[in-house]
Amino acid sequence: MKRNGENVNDAKLACTRLNVGGVTTEMVTLGSGPPLLFLHGGEGPLTPSDRYLRLLAQTHRVIAPFHPGFGPTELPADFRDVNDLAYFHLELAEQLSLRDAVLCGASFGGWIAAEIAVRNTDCFSRLVLVDPLGIKVSDRESRDITDIYALGAEELEKLSYHRPEVAARDTTVMSEAELTTIARSREALCYYGWQPYMHNPQLRRWLHRIHVPTLVLWGAQDRIVSPDYGRSYAAAIPGARFALIEAAGHYPHIEQPDAFAAQVAAFAPVMA
């Protein structure tokens, strides 16, 4: 399958290095057209599939960096929480001179994208949040976000995906570098999101500061954070539109990449 010369079945995408404010990250860039900054979830932009990036690249110039501390990147000694990641990616966008870019984040990356958008959207014209974490919607005694650290790997996959086989990987044939990348990403996710668990108690209060058109996409079968949580997220952002992606769990961009990319393309059309 090809569009604009991009084969969505090509070999695994390569990363390049970029130093931002003294912190080095690795990122994937592909495609052409208006820029789209994609902020990944727990395991990085390429795991367990990069097909969604290739599809986005049919209409946009996609920039998908690792968060510092995830995958092959080092954890900066002075980074403490998601606020640091938000400011890091803001500096990255400024360093790359992004203008009128789409800011898109999934899961943990959606939380970071929301933190960016309440601070500064000078580089961005649209926001896409895909099953984002980051806010508290119920009372203090009720859990909004499933405790992923209380689950075994098999149970976590069943809750994360409508079809868990989508994420199935044979770790016995993976290289040491690939396994290390996964382990470091999981470690970093815990570091940034452990306490309070996967949210900023103040974020929901400030979502009204997001003044760019916003699309909140949600996997209809998400059992990590429910669609009702997503509706509450969208309701707190002025003018935000909420849409479900059917036959998908917490990672609809992985599980239904074609439907996800079509939603993004319709929301952020490329002008002739």
Is 77 a member of any domain? yes
3-state secondary structure of 175: coil
β-partners of residue 25 are 18
What is the model's pLDDT at position 2? Answer: 39
Give the CATH number for residue 51.
Answer: 3.40.50.1820
Domain assignment of residue 209, given as a range: 2-136+145-267
Is 70 a member of any domain? yes
19: left (phi over 0), alpha (psi -120 to 50) or beta: beta
Residue 127 identity:
L
Residue 20: CB atoms within 10 A of its CB come to 19
Is 30 a member of any domain? yes
Query: Which positions ≥6 away from 118 have C-beta within 8 Å?
Result: 203, 206, 207, 209, 210
Is 223 a member of any domain? yes
What is the model's pLDDT at position 171? Answer: 82
Please tell me the total count of domains within the chain. 1
Is 272 a member of any domain? no
The token pair that represents 8 in the structure block? 């969505």
Q: Which residues of the chain have pLDDT under 70?
A: 1-11, 271-272
What is the model's pLDDT at position 3? Answer: 37
3-state secondary structure of 65: strand
Closest CA to 242 of 225, 228, 258, 222: 228
Radius of gyration, alpha carbons of the chain = 17
What is the model's pLDDT at position 208? Answer: 98
What is the model's pLDDT at position 60? Answer: 97
Closest CA to 122 of 92, 101, 147, 95: 101
Is 127 a member of any domain? yes
β-partners of residue 105 are 39, 129
Peptide bond between residue 65 and the one before it cis (omega within 30 degrees of 0): no
Give dist(CA 184, CA 114) in Å, integer.
24
Give dist(CA 159, CA 149) in Å, integer.
13
